[in-house]
C-alpha cells in the first residue's frame, strides 16, 4: 500500500512548480528579445554574446550557482544593491531558486525561439511593411504569431529544465525545507537518510509525470499553434 505524501514532500512539489512557472514566464520577454537580436542582427561581438547566452548549457551547474552567489549574494555587488535599494534578497530564498532555474533553462528557450524565428519567410513581413505597417506593428501582427510554435516550445522546455534544476539551485539558495527545497534537492536529501528510499521514489515519480505532461502539452500546443499559423 502506498504511503501518503508527507508535508515536506508536498512542500517540495509546490515549491518546484512555483519556481519553474516563475522562471519560465519571467524569462519569456527576455528570451524573445535575445532570440530576436541573435536571429536578425549582425554586430561586432555577436559570437561572444551568443556564447555567453548558451554558457549555462556547457559549464557545470555548480559553477553557475557559485557565480550567482558571488553576484547576487548579500555581499555581492548586485545582491547588496537589490537589498539596500529595494529590500530584495535572492540568496537562500525561493526567488533565488527561480533566478537560478531561469538562467539554466534560458539557453533552451532561446534556441527554440531563434530556430522558429529564422524559419519565418521574411516576405510576409515585407508584405506587411509594404501595406503601411511600421516595424512594431509587423512584429506584433506577423512575426510573433508566426513564431508562436517556437515560443510555446521554448517556454515549456525552460519550465521542464527549471523543474529539474539541482546544481545551481542548491549552490545559490541551499536546501532549506519549506523555503528553497525543490523536488531534486528533496530527493537528494532523502537518499542520504535511513528509510528515505520511499519518499525519494515518490518524488521521482512525481517529477517524471510533471515533466512528461509538460512535454505532451508542449507538443499539443505547438501543433495547435502551427495549424493556426497555416490557417487550417
Residue boundaries of the structural domains of the chain: 7-230
Which residues make Cβ contacts (< 8 Å) with residue 170, sequence separation at least 6?
Answer: 65, 185, 188
The stretch 90-94 carries a mean pLDDT of 90
Rounded CA gap, 100 and 133, in Å?
Answer: 39
Say what percent of the chain tops pLDDT 90: 52
Q: Compute the mean pLDDT over every residue in the chain, rounded to the nearest whole number.
A: 88
Whether 215 shows a pLDDT value over 90: the answer reads: no
Output the pLDDT for position 11: 93
The stretch 112-140 carries a mean pLDDT of 84
- According to the CATH classification, is domain 7-230 in 1.10.3720.10? yes
Rounded CA gap, 177 and 173, in Å?
Answer: 11
The stretch 114-121 carries a mean pLDDT of 87
The stretch 158-166 carries a mean pLDDT of 91
Output the pLDDT for position 229: 59
Total-model pTM: 0.87
Residue with cell 522562471: 23
The answer to whether 146 and 115 are in contact (CB under 8 A) is no
pLDDT digits (tens, 9 = 90+) for 176-186: 988 999 999 99
Output the pLDDT for position 232: 46
Rounded CA gap, 3 and 195, in Å?
Answer: 13
pLDDT digits (tens, 9 = 90+) for 13-24: 999 999 999 999
Rounded CA gap, 151 and 159, in Å?
Answer: 12
230 — pLDDT class (breaks 50, 70, 90): low
Amino acid at each position: 500500500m502506498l504511503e501518503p505524501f508527507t508535508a515536506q514532500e508536498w512542500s517540495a512539489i509546490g515549491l518546484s512548480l512555483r519556481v519553474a512557472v516563475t522562471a519560465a514566464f519571467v524569462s519569456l520577454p527576455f528570451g524573445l528579445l535575445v532570440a530576436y537580436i541573435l536571429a536578425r542582427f549582425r554586430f561586432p561581438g555577436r559570437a561572444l554574446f551568443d556564447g555567453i547566452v548558451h554558457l549555462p548549457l556547457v559549464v557545470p551547474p555548480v559553477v553557475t550557482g557559485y557565480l550567482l552567489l558571488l553576484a547576487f549574494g548579500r555581499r555581492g555587488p548586485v545582491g547588496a544593491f537589490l537589498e539596500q535599494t529595494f529590500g530584495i534578497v535572492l540568496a537562500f530564498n525561493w526567488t533565488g531558486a527561480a533566478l537560478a532555474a531561469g538562467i539554466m533553462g534560458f539557453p533552451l528557450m532561446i534556441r527554440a525561439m531563434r530556430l522558429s524565428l529564422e524559419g519565418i519567410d521574411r516576405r510576409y513581413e515585407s508584405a506587411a511593411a509594404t501595406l503601411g505597417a511600421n516595424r512594431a506593428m509587423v512584429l506584433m501582427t506577423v512575426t510573433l504569431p508566426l513564431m508562436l510554435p517556437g515560443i510555446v516550445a521554448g517556454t515549456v522546455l525552460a519550465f521542464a529544465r527549471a523543474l529539474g534544476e539541482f546544481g545551481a539551485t542548491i549552490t545559490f539558495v541551499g536546501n532549506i525545507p519549506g523555503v528553497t527545497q525543490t523536488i531534486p534537492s528533496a530527493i537528494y536529501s532523502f537518499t542520504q537518510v535511513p528509510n528515505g528510499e520511499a519518499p525519494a521514489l515518490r518524488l521521482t515519480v512525481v517529477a517524471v509525470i510533471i515533466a512528461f505532461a509538460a512535454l505532451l502539452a508542449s507538443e499539443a500546443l505547438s501543433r495547435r499553434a502551427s495549424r493556426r499559423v497555416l490557417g487550417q
